[in-house]
Structure 1
Amino acid sequence: MSAGSQKKLATRNKSILYQFRYIAATINLLAIIAIFYFRRPSRSIFYILLSTPSFVLQYVLESSGLPKIGPDGKVITAGSDILQKGTLFEYCFDVIYLTWILDVLMVLFGSNKVWWGYAMIPGYATYKIAGFVLPFFKKSGGGGQQAAGADGDAGAAAKKDKSGLSKRQQKLQARQEKGPGVRYR
């Protein structure tokens, strides 16, 4: 990476992570004031336990995204690109944002019931994994099921037309029988 792009990446990461620090400090300060001063909600253990993933993920983002700058002011390492699409950093941001939203809702409603919103994380993970895994099961199970269930309309029609060939295969066979479409001199 060239020095110019390293500098741009370093300044961008630094500004994003400093904004994260300020937002996290503000939201968590409001939550702590609501819990310990106003006693809303009455038990703080849920806040402590369920805000810990946000603190850990913010530490991970800062440790890998903050640039290392030498004593002469030059960028030694720019850090990882934390805004790159398709990386685990994207999920770290999502969990942090969800935690902040739940913190604000806890302060507004004064209830620990808002922490059930964390159930969205395993639900979303299941959705993403199912989208990746299910096509493998459909591909392997589909052929055996269609052969066994030849009583359907589509199965019967396919067996009548040119010994079970699909429409695409029928077209290719017809083209081959017809001969070459373009003749050269």
Structure 2
Amino acid sequence: MAGGSAKRTAAQNEAALKTLRISMLSCTAFSLVVRLFFIRRSWPPSFFSIVFLAVTHVPSTLLYNYLVNLGSPRRDQSGQLLGSGGDLSQSGLTEYAFDILYVTWACQIGSALFGNWVWWLFSVIPLFAGYKLWNLFGGGLPSFASNGGPDDNAANELEQTGMSKRQQKLQKRAERGDARVRAVKR
């Protein structure tokens, strides 16, 4: 028997998966219809177009299946909710999977409307992945906190007094006689 939170998550997941399925089918269909009926210069498609459509369709299908497997609620024979599935609104890999799907769909539609140069937008994905890996392994830009910046001064003050910022603020108010702070004697 699932609780209210699990039911809410299951409902959100089902709605997200339905939207995802409709979006995936409509983007692919729109791209094909525009290429077939409205833009004669793109039919028959060039080798470049076919390769990019195929190469990007495989990961988008894999990511779609990953999201379906992750977010599909489990139900018993009577329709009772057994498990809500993973939360599709969580950050991390799920968020990146959605982002990759959105970029892929934008490239499919854009290439059908504006030409094959739109596929260059797809390079945002490996560039962003490289940026995240660079920061993950400590290769990011140097931080100013270790060079005597404001964060370093706050850390030194905290070490010297042994009190948090909130405690220091309350102590200063108490010294001024602020009515909001009651001194508790032990």
1:10–1:66 contact (8 Å) kept in structure 2: yes
The TM-score with structure 2 as length reference comes to 0.66
Give yes or no for the alignment of 1:84 onto 2:90.
Answer: yes
Does residue 71 of structure 2 align to residue 65 of structure 1? yes
RMSD between aligned alpha carbons? 2.9
Q: 1:29-48 CA deviation, whole Å, 9 max, x = no partner?
A: 01122344555262323212
Q: Does 1:95 align with 2:97?
A: no
- Paired residue secondary structure (2:138): helix
Write the letter of the residue equivalent to 1:127: Y
Matched, 1:129 2:133: yes
Q: CA deviation at 1:79?
A: 0.6
Looking at structure 1, the residues matched to 35 and 59 of structure 2 have their Cα atoms a distance apart, in angstroms, of 19
What displacement does 1:69 show?
A: 1.5
Quote the residue 1:46 is aligned against. Answer: 52
User: Is the alpha carbon distance of 1:112 and 1:6 closer, same or farther for their aligned partners in structure 2, counting shifts above 3 Å?
Assistant: same
- For 2:84, give the aligned amino acid: A
Is 1:117 the counterpart of 2:116? The answer is no
What are the ranges of 5 or more consecutive residues in structure 1 without an aligned counterpart?
140-167, 173-185
**Aligned-pair distance for 1:127?**
1.4
Distance in 1, matches of 2:59 and 2:73, equals 23
Amino acid at match of 2:72: L
TM-aligned CA deviation for residue 116 of structure 1: 1.9
Question: What does the per-residue CA deviation read over 1:88-109, in whole Å, with 9 as the maximum and x for residues that have no partner?
Answer: 1010000000011111101211
Paired residues, what number?
A: 143
Q: Which amino acid aligns with 2:89?
A: L
* TM-score normalised by the chain length of structure 1: 0.66
Does the residue aligned with 1:134 lie in a helix, a strand or coil?
coil
Alpha-carbon distance, 1:132 to partner: 2.8
Contact 1:46 1:112 in 2 (8 A): no
Task: Quote the offset at 1:12 in angstroms.
Answer: 0.6
Cα separation, partners in 2 of 1:62 and 1:91, compared to 1, 3 Å: same
**Where does structure 2 lack aligned partners over 5 or more consecutive residues?**
144-155, 161-186
Which shifted more, 41-50 or 123-132?
A: 41-50
Alignment check: 8 A CA contact 1:24 1:100 kept: yes
Larger radius of gyration: 1
